[in-house]
Amino acid sequence: MAPPASSEPDRLRSSRTQAPSAGLRRDLEILELLANADPQGGLGVSRIAEILGREKSQMSRALKALEAEGMAERDGETLEYRLGWRLYALAARGGETRLVQIATPYLRRMVGALNETTHLCVLRGSAVLTLRSVSPSHAFRGLGWEGVTVPAPMTSAGRVLVSDWEPQALRSLLAEAGTLPAGPRARAADDLLAEIAGIRRRGYAAVNEEFEEGLVGVSAPVRDFRGAIVAAINVSAPKGRLGSRLDDAGRLTLTVAQELSAELGFHPSGGRPLR
Partner DNA sequence: AATACTAGTTGCGGTGAATGCAAGCGATTA
Partner DNA sequence: TAATCGCTTGCATTCACCGCAACTAGTATT
Site residues for DNA, 212-271, by CB under 7 A, read: none
Q: How far apart are CA 17 and CA 140, in angstroms?
A: 44
Distance of CA 38 to the CA centre of its chain: 21
Determine if 272 is a binding residue for a copy of itself (CB under 8 A). Answer: no
Q: How far apart are CA 223 and CA 259, in angstroms?
A: 10
Q: Spell 94-103 as b/e; 16+ CB within 10 A means b.
A: ebbeebbeeb
Inter-axis angle of helices 97-114 and 246-263, nearest 10: 150
Residue 89: CB atoms within 10 Å: 11
Q: For the chain, what's the residue count?
A: 275
- Binding string to a copy of itself for residues 181 to 220, with x set by CB under 8 A, is what? ----------------------------------------
Residue 191's binding partner, choosing from a copy of itself, DNA, none, with beta-carbon cut-off 5 to 8 A by kind? Answer: none
Determine if 84 is a binding residue for DNA (CB under 7 A). Answer: no
CA torsion 249→254→259→261, rounded to 10°? 140
Which of positions 87-146 make contact with DNA (CB under 7 A)?
none
Nearer to a copy of itself among residue 81 and residue 204 (C-beta): 81
Which of positions 229-258 make contact with a copy of itself (CB under 8 A)?
none
Determine if 8 is a binding residue for a copy of itself (CB under 8 A). Answer: no
Residue of 2, 36, 201, 213 interacting with a copy of itself (CB under 8 A):
36
Residue of 9, 76, 94, 181 interacting with DNA (CB under 7 A):
9
State the minimum distance, in angstroms, from the CB of residue 165 to a copy of itself: 7
Query: Which among 62-70, 172-180, 193-201, 236-244 is the span making contact with DNA, rule CB under 7 A?
Result: 62-70
Determine if 63 is a binding residue for DNA (CB under 7 A). Answer: yes
* Per-residue CA distances from 164 to 122, 177, 262, 263, 272 (Å): 14, 18, 18, 21, 8
State the minimum distance, in angstroms, from the CB of residue 44 to DNA: 2
State the minimum distance, in angstroms, from the CB of residue 2 to DNA: 13
On whether the CB atoms of residues 82 and 34 are closer than 8 A, the answer is: yes
On whether the CB atoms of residues 249 and 242 are closer than 8 A, the answer is: yes
On whether the CB atoms of residues 155 and 235 are closer than 8 A, the answer is: no
Determine if 60 is a binding residue for DNA (CB under 7 A). Answer: yes
Residue of 48, 49, 59, 111 interacting with a copy of itself (CB under 8 A):
111
Number of chain positions touching DNA (CB under 7 A): 28
Contacting positions for DNA (CB under 7 A): 9, 11, 15-23, 26, 44-47, 54-58, 60-64, 79-80
